[in-house]
């Protein structure tokens, strides 16, 4: 979206201008752009978007991509539900969310655009470039549907341009279905003044990685050239998104790749998993390259076995990780309780999707917070962390591994489908040897020392590892004393629970209070966690520009919570969370006092005794800044009318 | 020191482990419980094989049988009901230096843990698995187990269980990559020991079903078999379980069975002609998953760091 209305008008009119004969067209400078490529599934739109996005990042732009994924692997062609594709948001400044409505959409057919309209992804003035192939379809129904759609789009205020994607691609390949995407990358490079050679290099790398021959690369290069040449000749709109050069080396990847590399950086040796969307791709990255760092990926028979295997490896002194999503977390729950009870270090990554049950398998939700914090039978305290960016996806893996070992505990890292699939820029991590797990201790265990020599202050203890002479003990999930002997006396369990709980109080004292974004005190504080941070901060920026005194914090630690929250909360007239999980809207409620709050709000209300409000939605997609902005504005109006 | 050479040094004599070195907490099984005999056989095996206690790990699930690790002085993992095998596989995965034993019950292995049992057989990672099969849920006080005989009464089926039991041997033999499937009984210490010793020597996943008496809930279940050894079919073969002549003499009903013959093993598993004990099947060259999981354990820190830099290069812009 163009922030200033003048830029928007200028862009719109540029797009509306008659297509001139070839020649230099002056480029219009804009601070950022949101481009989408939508298609039937299997037409390579995502690959195209990733290449184009990487080119933008390489040219120094901030980047955030969002995958548009249909529920089925092969949905029917030309169907609304089958829309598959990608959004690429790039800008002069760093980009940390998917933004609002698209500025330009390239569509391989007109039907998939309807689903984008349903999703609120377009605005009046969005430029639609639609493949004109369907206007000449042999099937009269298709031709009719196409014409109808063009009318609908026109009436809705979109700017429609028919372009010969299929026909031009067909000039170069007999299988245009597979070549259209590259032609479109060429076209976008022309429109946005991107360096075509950079795109060519990305294409080459991509196909080399897929072990494709030179002929394939050459053909795709030709398609890039053709798309570019066509755009130069036929489209008069040119945009420029200026770059601020990065001050440090940058990498571009999605959040799951960042988690996979973070696991390598942490010196983790075993990744034990069972495939589940949207977590699996993290394991794919590891399966391809983990062995270079001496690690293995174990694909277990189910999630229970996956976590059991990881726990076994960890008991034997090896650093282990299990990666899953909500349904898998549910299955792992008993073992996670064991890991708490028997104090087995373990890193658990939950890439959240919509729930409960199978829910929204490919879509984002932040619905696993409470089940992560409280989800085991009995009192099962553990560390729960949530990265809010790709950089944190990487670095939290190192932190998680260290905390797991120092505190002898499972550490949950809650990512989500948004982070998992979005490609973004992050500073290239400065790899450090100190991140790797230390070598396994096989020295003799101190004579007579207990297996759980809990420090009375901190509850922290060292663990014996098989192979350590004199350390033999029997780990058990039964209540036990410090020698791991089964607790037959009533006082033992009370003390052991106390020791296990104390660890998290000790960790909390080591945590920093959260940083406040925006106003340090004022009318409204917005509290979020995880992938919503970028969108929340954008919304806060916009509202502050109107003079409202609004701040936000993003919690990285959810268990234990970061310290100082109640003090921070009391500096604002209102505190609310913004989350992607379910809550009752106040207006929907028959009786007051029965509202079901969003998950972080529950947690904060219980721990701070502050009347924390919430606004949350479960649209199966990231929250656009504009939606958040509107919610905050409505709360601010509420705050102004209330006197306290 | 008197009687020792002057150049004697302490470290040169490896420590000799006695039976007592493997004694853990006092076993709390009922008296007459078959688990006691298995414990003794295992402790003898550890001693005879001189397994360093710190290099030996006993993994179990939940049940009477799964209390096993507490009673051996070695590293132990008394985990969750049905989930011993994934843990044991995880222990084994990166630690080829450890000796891994698993104790599991018929409910633990053949009901709640069935998926893991099947897959662990297929993984064929080196370990000894003892299925202590008493045909009942002991710890939870007499419920029907998947190996309970049809019609046997329990607290969940007072009128008698409704279906034929699972045959754990037949099921195990049906799984791809099975490599060692044996059966023995808790009341014949010599055969029990010989079977466990063979299992320990086997280069892969050694599955041993032990018919185990539970006098508390299944009194008399195996009594007629004990009193009349002719109801037992002793499988013999040079590649099978070796027992000496005195033990062989106890069994009038014998049959030579080549444990490489899978078809015959399957026929024997369903034998109506006495309960077979001995080795049904072995395949020392079955693929081992731990050959894969152990890869890279010696990777240097430098290599790890270089690998990471190479990955980051790939993503650098
Ligand atoms: C998840 C779970 N479900 C149920 C139980 C209760 N439980 C404990 S042991 C057991 C059955 C034990 O039977 P078996 O495995 O045959 O062992 P045995 O006691 O006979 O040796 C059950 C049902 C449990 N501990 N955990
Ligand atoms: S209940 Fe049965 S299996 Fe359990 S200890 Fe007693 S005799 Fe053994
Ligand atoms: Mg049993």
Please write the tens of the pLDDT for every residue from A219-252.
Answer: 999 999 999 999 999 998 899 999 987 889 999 9
Same topology between domain A10-240 and domain A251-435: no
In chain B, the percentage of residues whose pLDDT exceeds 90 is: 94
Mean pLDDT of chain B: 95
Where do the domains of chain B lie?
A: 17-286, 288-317
Residues of B (32-91) whose Cβ lies below 8 Å from A: 52-55, 57-59, 62, 69-70, 73-80, 83, 85-91
pLDDT at A589: 72
The residue whose CA has the least distance to atom 4 of ligand 1 is B81
Answer whether residue A16 shows pLDDT above 60: no
Contact between residue B257 and residue B268 where contact means Cβ atoms under 8 Å apart = yes
pLDDT at A245: 76
Closest in A257, A306, A334 to B80, CB measured: A334
Answer whether residue B274 shows pLDDT above 50: yes
Mean pLDDT of chain A: 93
Are A305 and B308 in contact (CB < 8 Å)?
no
Are B93 and A270 in contact (CB < 8 Å)?
yes
CB of B116 less than 8 A from some CB of A: yes
pLDDT at A80: 87
Confirm or reject: Cβ of B274 under 6 Å from ligand 1. Answer: no
pLDDT at A11: 43
Contact between residue A526 and residue A578 where contact means Cβ atoms under 8 Å apart = yes
Q: pLDDT digit string (tens) for A589-632?
A: 766 678 999 999 999 999 999 999 999 999 999 999 999 999 99
Answer whether residue A49 shows pLDDT above 70: yes
Closest in A252, A294, A320 to B299, CB measured: A294
CATH of domain A517-643: 3.40.50.920
Are B83 and A317 in contact (CB < 8 Å)?
no
Q: Examine the predicted complex and report whether its ipTM is higher than 0.85.
A: yes
Nearest CA distance, B166 vs chain A (angstrom) = 21
Establish how many alpha carbons lie within 13 A of residue A319's alpha carbon, considering only the half-sphere containing its beta carbon.
28
Closest in A301, A311, A466 to B87, CB measured: A311
Answer whether residue A8 shows pLDDT above 70: no
Token pair 């209390």 in the structure block, residue: B67
Pick from A309, A342, A436 the residue to mutate for testing the B interface (most B CBs within 10 Å).
Answer: A309
Average pLDDT over residues A439-468: 97
pLDDT band at A10 (very low <50, low <70, confident <90, very high): very low
pLDDT at A15: 46
Are A251 and B310 in contact (CB < 8 Å)?
no
Distance from residue B79's CA to the centre of ligand 1 (Å): 12
Where do the domains of chain A lie?
A: 10-240, 251-435, 440-510, 517-643
Nearest CA distance, B104 vs chain A (angstrom) = 15
Q: Topology of A10-240 in CATH?
A: Pyruvate-ferredoxin Oxidoreductase; domain 3 (3.40.920)
Superfamily for B17-286? Thiamin diphosphate (ThDP)-binding fold, Pyr/PP domains (3.40.50.970)
pLDDT at A9: 38
Q: pLDDT digit string (tens) for A387-426?
A: 999 999 999 999 999 999 999 999 999 999 999 999 999 9
In chain A, the percentage of residues whose pLDDT exceeds 70 is: 95
Residues of B (259-298) whose Cβ lies below 8 Å from A: 292-293, 295-298
pLDDT at B20: 97
Answer whether residue B97 shows pLDDT above 80: yes
- Give the span between the Cα atoms of A162 and A128, in whole angstroms: 8
Confirm or reject: Cβ of B38 under 6 Å from ligand 1. Answer: no
Work out how many CB contacts closer than 8 A connect A with B. Answer: 199
Are A296 and B80 in contact (CB < 8 Å)?
no
- Give the span between the Cα atoms of B12 and A135, in whole angstroms: 90
A11 or A147, greater pLDDT? A147
Q: pLDDT digit string (tens) for A354-387?
A: 999 999 999 999 999 999 999 999 999 999 999 9
Nearest CA distance, A635 vs chain B (angstrom) = 42
What does residue A582 show for φ and ψ, rounded to 5 degrees? -80, 140
pLDDT band at A24 (very low <50, low <70, confident <90, very high): low
Tokens encoding A72:
């089925």
B15 or A280, greater pLDDT? A280
pLDDT band at B283 (very low <50, low <70, confident <90, very high): very high
pLDDT at A13: 44
| Level-2 CATH architecture, domain A251-435 | 3-Layer(aba) Sandwich (3.40)
Q: Is the model's pTM score more than 0.90? A: yes
pLDDT at B1: 46
Partners of B75 on chain A (C-beta within 8 Å) are 464, 466, 471-474
Closest in A272, A294, A467 to B296, CB measured: A294
Answer whether residue A110 shows pLDDT above 60: yes
Residues of A (454-483) whose Cβ lies below 8 Å from B: 464, 466-478
Average pLDDT over residues B151-178: 98
Are A308 and B79 in contact (CB < 8 Å)?
yes
The 10 Å Cβ neighbour count of residue B207 is: 30
Are B317 and A301 in contact (CB < 8 Å)?
no
- Give the span between the Cα atoms of A331 and A59, in whole angstroms: 45
pLDDT band at B5 (very low <50, low <70, confident <90, very high): low
Tokens encoding A537:
């901060």
Contact between residue B58 and residue B76 where contact means Cβ atoms under 8 Å apart = yes
SS3 A264: helix
């Amino acid at each position: 979206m163009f922030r200033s209305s003048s830029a928007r008008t200028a862009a719109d009119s540029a797009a509306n201008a008659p297509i001139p004969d070839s020649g230099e067209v002056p480029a219009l400078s804009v601070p950022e752009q949101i481009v989408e490529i939508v298609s039937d599934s299997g037409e390579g739109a995502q690959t195209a978007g990733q290449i184009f996005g990487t080119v933008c990042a390489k040219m120094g732009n901030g980047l955030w991509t969002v995958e548009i994924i249909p529920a089925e692997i092969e949905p029917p062609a030309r169907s609304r539900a089958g829309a598959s594709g990608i959004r690429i948001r790039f800008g002069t400044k760093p980009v940390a969310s998917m933004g609002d409505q698209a500025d330009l959409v390239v569509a391989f057919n007109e039907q998939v655009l309807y689903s984008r309209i349903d999703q609120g992804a377009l605005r009046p003035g969005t430029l639609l470039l639609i493949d004109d192939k369907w206007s000449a379809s042999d099937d009269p129904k298709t031709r009719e549907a196409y014409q109808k759609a063009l009318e609908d789009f026109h009436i809705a205020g979109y700017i429609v341009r028919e372009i010969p994607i299929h026909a031009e691609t067909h000039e170069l390949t007999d299988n245009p279905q597979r070549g259209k995407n590259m032609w479109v990358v060429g076209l976008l490079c022309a429109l946005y003044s991107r360096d075509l050679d950079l795109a060519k290099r990305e294409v080459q790398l991509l196909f080399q990685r897929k072990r494709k021959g030179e002929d394939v690369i050459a053909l795709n290069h030709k398609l890039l050239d053709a798309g570019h040449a066509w755009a130069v000749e036929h489209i008069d709109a040119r945009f420029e998104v200026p770059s601020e050069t990065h001050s440090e080396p940058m990498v571009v990847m999605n959040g799951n790749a960042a988690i996979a590399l973070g696991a390598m950086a942490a010196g983790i040796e075993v990744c034990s998993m069972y495939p589940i969307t949207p977590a699996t791709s993290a394991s794919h990255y590891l399966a391809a390259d983990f062995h270079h760092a001496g690690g293995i990926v174990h694909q277990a028979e189910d999630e229970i076995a996956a976590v059991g295997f990881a726990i076994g490896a960890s008991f034997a002194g090896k650093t282990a990780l299990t990666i899953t999503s909500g349904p898998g977390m549910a299955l792992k729950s008993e073992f996670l309780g064991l890991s708490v009870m028997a104090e087995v270090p373990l890193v658990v990554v939950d890439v959240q999707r919509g729930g409960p049950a199978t829910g929204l398998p490919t879509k984002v939700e932040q619905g696993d917070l409470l089940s992560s914090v409280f989800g085991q039978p009995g009192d099962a305290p553990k560390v729960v962390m949530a990265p809010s960016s790709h950089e944190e996806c990487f670095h939290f893996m190192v932190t998680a591994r260290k905390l797991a070992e120092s505190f002898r505990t499972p550490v949950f890292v809650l990512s989500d489908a948004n982070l998992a699939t979005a490609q973004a820029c992050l500073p290239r991590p400065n790899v450090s040897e100190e991140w790797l797990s230390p070598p396994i201790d096989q020295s003799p265990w101190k004579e007579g020392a207990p297996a759980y020599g809990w420090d009375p202050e901190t509850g922290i203890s060292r663990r014996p590892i098989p192979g350590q002479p004199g350390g033999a003990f029997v780990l058990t999930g039964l209540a036990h004393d410090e020698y791991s002997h089964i607790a037959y006396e009533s006082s033992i369990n009370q003390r052991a629970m106390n020791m296990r709980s104390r660890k998290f109080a000790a960790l909390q004292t080591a945590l920093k209070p959260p940083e406040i974004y925006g106003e340090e005190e004022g009318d409204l504080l917005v509290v979020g966690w995880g992938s919503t941070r970028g969108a929340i901060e954008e919304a806060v920026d916009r509202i502050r520009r109107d003079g409202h005194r609004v701040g936000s914090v993003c919690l990285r630690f959810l268990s234990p919570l970061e310290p100082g929250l109640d003090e921070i909360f009391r500096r604002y007239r209102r505190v609310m969370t913004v989350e992607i999980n379910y809550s009752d809207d106040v207006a929907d409620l028959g009786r007051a006092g029965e509202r079901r709050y969003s998950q972080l709000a529950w947690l904060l209300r219980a721990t701070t005794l502050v009347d924390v409000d919430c606004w949350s939605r479960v649209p199966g997609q990231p929250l656009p800044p504009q939606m958040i902005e509107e919610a905050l504005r409505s709360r601010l109006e509420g705050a102004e009318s209330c006197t306290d | 020191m008197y009687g020792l050479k002057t150049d004697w040094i302490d470290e040169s004599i490896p420590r000799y482990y006695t039976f007592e070195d493997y004694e853990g907490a006092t076993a709390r099984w009922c008296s007459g419980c078959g688990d006691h005999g298995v414990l003794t056989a295992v402790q003898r095996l550890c001693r005879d094989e001189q397994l360093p206690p710190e290099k030996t790990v006993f993994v179990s699930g939940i049940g009477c049988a799964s209390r096993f690790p507490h009673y051996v002085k070695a590293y132990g993992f008394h985990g969750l009901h049905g989930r011993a095998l994934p843990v044991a596989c995880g222990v084994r995965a990166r630690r080829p230096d450890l000796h891994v034993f698993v104790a599991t019950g018929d409910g633990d292995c053949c009901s709640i843990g069935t998926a893991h049992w099947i897959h662990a057989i297929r993984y064929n990672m080196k370990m000894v698995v003892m299925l202590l099969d008493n045909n009942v849920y002991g710890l939870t006080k007499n419920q029907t187990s998947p190996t309970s005989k049809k019609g046997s009464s329990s607290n969940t089926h007072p009128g008698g269980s409704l279906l034929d039991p699972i045959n754990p041997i037949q099921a195990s033999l049906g799984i791809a990559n099975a490599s060692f499937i044996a059966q023995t009984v808790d009341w014949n210490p010599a055969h029990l020991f010989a079977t466990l010793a063979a299992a320990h020597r086997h280069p892969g996943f050694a599955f041993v079903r032990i018919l185990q008496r539970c006098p508390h809930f299944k009194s008399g279940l195996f009594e007629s078999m004990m009193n009349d050894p002719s109801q037992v079919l002793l499988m013999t073969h040079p590649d099978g379980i070796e027992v000496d002549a005195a033990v062989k003499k106890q069994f009038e009903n014998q049959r030579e069975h080549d444990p490489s013959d899978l078809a015959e093993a399957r026929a024997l598993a369903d034998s109506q002609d006495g309960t077979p004990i001995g080795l049904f099947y072995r395949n020392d060259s079955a693929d081992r998953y731990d050959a894969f999981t152990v890869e890279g354990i010696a990777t240097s820190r430098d290599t790890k760091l270089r690998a990471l830099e190479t990955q980051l290069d790939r993503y650098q812009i």
